[in-house]
Amino acid sequence: MYIGIDIGGTTIKGVLTNGDGDMLAFKKIPTGKTPSEIENCLIELIRALSAARGQGPSAVRAIGVGSAGSIDRTRGMVLTSPNIPALQKFPLIKTIERRTGVRAFLENDATVAVIGEWWKGAGRKYSNWIMLTLGTGIGGGVVIENRVYTGQSGSAMEVGHTSIDYRGRRCPCGGTGCLELYASATGLMRYARSVIGKHSGSSLTARIKKEKLDPRMIEEEALRGDALSLHIYTQVSTWLGIGVANLVNIFNPEAIVFGGGLSRAHRLIFPVVKKTVHERVMAGLDHNVKYLIIRDQEKAPALGAARMAMDALIK
């Protein structure tokens, strides 16, 4: 059996799986605030997962951990993590190994999410595909010839920080016109706020007098035919399409798998992205490109972390 753990800013999720990727148990707990709280959360989660099959941690062959932020795999440590500051410089892997007696391995969250989709998700059927996560920012991953490509130090596919406008907004990363400033959930909200006051007849404008604006509300009003809400999604999807067109020109993928909160609105997003990609890529490159969404967003990264640990053990 293997355990995979996905450490996020608000929840830590874990799965227990066998070598074939059959999920034997799934559990989640809120992320602790201090290093010792996080340590206790992790140990509790590992114990609960192995107990789900009536066993202790010693029945687990390896534990894989995916974490947000930049990581040092060899030292098993998170170097910087804006969303989980308590993890910074914390000896994560050493601590897990010391307290459970099980070998553990660290990878970044985007990579384990791709591995999860590659192993058991939408990417299973394809050899060359891209994953894009549309959340607070935009994350990415790529599978080339059936192998997850991670680059020199594991940081490949920072798609959110590729530029779609060299005169555009300044990004905290130091770049200008980064895709995630426009086409993430954050970008959608920013654009919505900039146009919302200018359209008095809109049902969205009426709703925000009583409710707090969020991407879901804009999606609901767009699906009901509100022109302003449709315009917001069309604009954001056009920006996203420009970024996707660049990726299609570079990778010539068979499929693009979308995840993250904003991918819920795929019925609004996909048609515009496809049209924009078609207008911008080299002729024929977008033929037969499949647009898919992650089936099980909650479990895929943890499952990918388990597979990563399985492979690391063999190496």
283 φ/ψ sector (left φ>0, alpha ψ -120 to 50, else beta): beta
Residue 173 touching Zn ion (CB under 5 A): yes
Which residue lies nearer to Zn ion by CB, 131 or 178? Answer: 178
- What is the footprint of Zn ion within residues 143-162 (CB under 5 A)? 161
**Contact criterion met (CB below 8 Å) for 28 and 42:** no
Distances (CA, A) of 152 to 123, 156, 157: 23, 8, 11
Which residue lies nearer to Zn ion by CB, 88 or 186? Answer: 186
Going by C-alpha positions, the residue among 15, 113, 125 that lies closest to residue 63 is 15
First to last CA, the chain: 18
Count the residues of the shown chain that bind Zn ion, applying the rule CB under 5 A: 5
Q: How does strand 2-7 pair with strand 62-67?
A: parallel
Rounded CA-CA distance 80/71 in Å is: 7
Which residue lies nearer to Zn ion by CB, 161 or 199? Answer: 161
Nearest approach in angstroms of CB 173 to Zn ion is 3
- What is the footprint of Zn ion within residues 175-234 (CB under 5 A)? 175, 178
Query: Position of tokens 């499952």?
Result: 303
Binds Zn ion by CB under 5 A, chosen from 51, 171, 217, 223: 171
Nearest approach in angstroms of CB 156 to Zn ion is 15
Nearest approach in angstroms of CB 240 to Zn ion is 15
Nearest approach in angstroms of CB 270 to Zn ion is 25
Going by C-alpha positions, the residue among 181, 150, 157 that lies closest to residue 167 is 181
Going residue by residue from 61 to 80, which x/- string records binding to Zn ion, judged by CB under 5 A? --------------------
Q: Which stretch binds Zn ion (CB under 5 A): 1-9, 58-66, 126-134, 168-176?
A: 168-176
Which residue lies nearer to Zn ion by CB, 4 or 160? Answer: 160
Which residue lies nearer to Zn ion by CB, 169 or 295? Answer: 169
Residue 268 touching Zn ion (CB under 5 A): no
Going by C-alpha positions, the residue among 219, 243, 245 that lies closest to residue 232 is 219
Which residue lies nearer to Zn ion by CB, 179 or 305? Answer: 179
Rounded CA-CA distance 269/163 in Å is: 20
Contact residues for Zn ion, defined by CB under 5 A: 161, 171, 173, 175, 178
